[in-house]
Amino acid sequence: MGWTKQGQLTIHYDNVTGKWYARQPVEVEPPHQPLSHRRAFVGLGVINLLTVALDGAWQTLVYSGRSVLADWWYLSHRIDRLKSLAKTINHRKSTHRIRRLFRRRLRLRQYVNTVVRRAVADLWAHGVSQLVVGDLTGILAVKSGGRKAHAMTHNCWSHRYLMQRITEVAEEYGIVVERVDERGTSSKCPRCRSKRVTRLGRLFKCQECRLEAHRDGVGVVNIGLAQGAAFPGEVVNGAVACPLEVSG
């Protein structure tokens, strides 16, 4: 790896931690190049941060965010309670303790970074040279999921942030990232293409061919099918029925 360009050095003082920090961006040559020409299709989520289907593979992969999700909600509830107390007792919107909890919650993004890096490294090892990622931008703009869903998708589990990290890490491996419209991918059967389906939580049922599958698996397989991926016959059944969970 060789340095190609150094950016401007900046130094700043953090009032929350009481420490000085220095940052200097650098550009480096990509340390890896794709091993072969293969595509992977990626869906973004909250409980399952990344669901991945490899072109022609019999099973989808799931990179879960479940283990850290409880920590994020615990910290969020503490922050809300302390903010309410601060407003009631001394009419303040924030305190040093609240700011520290915000900073602690923000550090949970490191888990997201770890999952993304692990996923991209795994896919590179499988010979992936292109990631086709479902774009949720238009869907999130019109979808109403209540306060809890809004908090998750616009903070630590921001889909914009996930997309940014995927793009940045993929660049290190020489992998091209393409965004495609994800609208309707979890409401169509990947086997018979019927839209007469039932969705309950993560469960997907087709009323025509009776396929029962994991909803996230259905979504990424449908992304792949729309891009001409090879998921013929029984491969579709295996790919969506039981995704393999990969630890971060």
CB 187, CB 174: distance < 8 Å: no
pLDDT digits (tens, 9 = 90+) for 26-38: 665 666 777 888 9
CB 43, CB 223: distance < 8 Å: yes
pLDDT at 52 over 60: yes
Of 20-34, 58-72, 167-181, least confident by mean pLDDT is: 20-34
**Rounded Cα gap, residues 6 and 17, in angstroms:** 27
**What is the reported pLDDT for 102?**
73
pLDDT at 117 over 80: yes
pLDDT at 113 over 90: no
**What is the reported pLDDT for 131?**
95
**What is the reported pLDDT for 100?**
80
The residue with greater pLDDT, 7 or 178, is 178
pLDDT at 155 over 80: no
Burial 75-93 (b: 16+ CB within 10 A, else e): bbeebeeebeebeeeeeee
pLDDT at 179 over 90: yes
**What is the reported pLDDT for 42?**
94
What is the mean pLDDT of the segment spanning 47-59? 84
pLDDT digits (tens, 9 = 90+) for 70-79: 777 777 778 7
Banded pLDDT at 6 (limits 50, 70, 90): low
Encoding tokens for residue 37?
A: 């020409």
Residue 53 burial (C-beta neighbours within 10 Å; 0-12, 13-18, 19+): buried
